[in-house]
Structure 1
């Protein structure tokens, strides 16, 4: 997807500098919907399932089925496909979800992680995401159900969907692939009417999830869910805007130390016991 990104206007010098910048961060009077931190500025912002180097897009349905098949008990309380995708994301299976946070300090933590290319430390970035209200939904939204269940389609079915989504709404809902998607949606919403808007399957949507696991709560987590296909670079999403600031490589260590003093560290953001143990070992090994 081609995203219009304003070139960096600020390089973060400290946590307090970042906070001051965030307090005034806006676009045309709108405050950011969410934030995303990445430890390398050159990474393209997209879900892992769409990344060509990951190579799982054509096997998305099988990957989803395999994980549920191997660990069915983990998914027994999940009511919807979106719930299952959130859990899969938690266990690092590539999905069509992109992790974001509503807490800018959490995004700064991830952007301040060390990263090297050819032994050279690299800058990180914090991105602010701006989306209009009509592109924001909750976990139980009908639109989110339709988008999440795209993960149940085979590679050939997703190609068929990419063609069908260009049709008018009435014609689209008469196609075989629309009826196939409807079948999956009705598993979780039996009374769902066959009135899917194909335009709602094309563009990413910001989703406020259930605060149903400790990591989402700790990270003030949310998600961007992506649609039926990879958008070509020439296709600009005119509503989604990513503005960013740079976290310089030489400032990362100091920023991480400041964040730790504020209670933002691996143990607080990853509340699983193995993460806490690793953080404690690292803390005392440096004494």
Structure 2
């Protein structure tokens, strides 16, 4: 993977994101370890090497069964059940279950936070550089799979009813008579070749996106805000068609963050409100923020 940028300070990162990245939709992912240091860009489930001993069918079956078991336990823990496997898998990912989803964000400062929040060390206890990866391949979004699949709707005249007493019936309420030629009822028009009974039955309708286990390419999924963390972190999930393979080099740009800059970048992010208590708006975030302010940076409250 090419590394065109090595960042030495906070301002250099801002300039790089603003001026040096290609045009188009971009997603960011911060990692405390570099791709070259052995931390490949792949989903969490793809990091379990022993699963590679299984056949594709066995791995696929395992993913589905694990999600089914997880979903069966959701009833006692959530207020709203997921509407499909995409939402169920997003909830599972959020709670730490290994899935074929990868965490990304639309906010480059959030990605920078995850890259520098903790400075890792190598086997000889030397501090290591981190990185922000920019997804530039522009995969389709989940909404692209469903946007054009709604049933067609067209206005038609209502021939089943006639106005009472030759009028609209609204006069006694002080409402002007509606022009029947301009205010017509809407009716569902079956799509060409579709069975009308099937369109009337939502459970039988074929107009839906494939499940995350049936996609033919990587897909960007904006999950519902099941947690304040997802909203605070501008979270985006990348559903990977081949979860045991790393993303290709052409899919991403690597922005290396030099370890010597980590401390200063952490302080700057804290000043700009992109730190623990903002990105984790719960007790865990408050505890992490206090730990950083008081014990790690030896600062003041």
TM-score (norm 2): 0.66
Q: Compared with structure 1, are the counterparts of its residues 202 and 280 closer, same or farther at alpha carbon in structure 2 (3 Å cutoff)?
A: same
Task: Look up the match of 1:48.
Answer: 44
Measured at CA, do residues 94 and 194 of structure 1 come closer, stay the same or move farther in structure 2, by a change above 3 Å? closer
Give the 5 Å matches for 1:1-287: 5=1, 7-27=2-22, 30-41=23-34, 42=37, 43-53=39-49, 55=51, 58=59, 59-75=62-78, 76-112=80-116, 113-118=118-123, 119-132=125-138, 135-138=140-143, 141=146, 190-192=204-206, 201-227=215-241, 230-231=244-245, 241-285=251-295, 286-287=298-299
CA distance in 2, matches of 1:278, 1:237: 34
**1:62 deviation in Å?**
3.3
Which piece of structure 1 moves more, 53-62 or 252-261? 53-62
Deviations 1:197-228 (A, max 9, x none): xxx72321122233342111100111110126
Q: Matched residues in 1 for 2:256 and 2:276: separation?
A: 21
**5+ residue gaps, structure 2:** 53-57, 149-201
The answer to whether the Cα contact below 8 Å between 1:121 and 1:249 also exists between their aligned partners in 2 is yes
**Mind listing any 5+ residue stretches in structure 1 that lack a counterpart?**
144-187
Q: Secondary structure at the match of 2:270?
A: helix
Q: Over residues 116-161 of structure 1, what are the superposed CA-to-partner deviations in whole Å (9 max), with x where a residue is unaligned?
A: 22222111111111134x6233398389xxxxxxxxxxxxxxxxxx
Does the CA contact (< 8 Å) of 1:25 and 1:31 recur in 2? Answer: no
| Secondary structure at the counterpart of residue 223 of structure 1 | strand
Deviation string, structure 1 residues 96-129 (Cα, Å, up to 9, x no partner): 1111000000111111131122222111111111
Contact 2:43 2:99 in 1 (8 A): yes
CA contact (8 A) 2:43 2:243 kept: no
| Change over 3 Å in CA distance of 1:85–1:194 after alignment to 2 | closer
How far the C-alpha of 1:51 sits from its partner, in A, is 1.9
Distance in 2, Cα, partners of 1:256 & 1:55: 37
Instruction: State the alpha-carbon separation in 2 of the partners of residues 127 and 207 from structure 1.
Output: 18
Residue pair 2:233, 2:279 contacting (<8 A) in 1 also? yes
Which structure's CA Rg is the greater one?
2
**SS state of the match for residue 77, structure 2?**
helix
CA distance in 1, matches of 2:282, 2:20: 33
Residues 195 and 117 from structure 1, CA distance in 2 versus in 1: closer, same or farther, beyond 3 angstroms?
A: closer
Question: What TM-score, normalized by structure 1, do the two folds share?
Answer: 0.69
Q: CA deviation digits over 1:73-99, x for unaligned, max 9?
A: 335431111111111111111111111
Cα distance per residue 1:36-70 (max 9 Å; x no partner):
11110131001111223484983323322332334
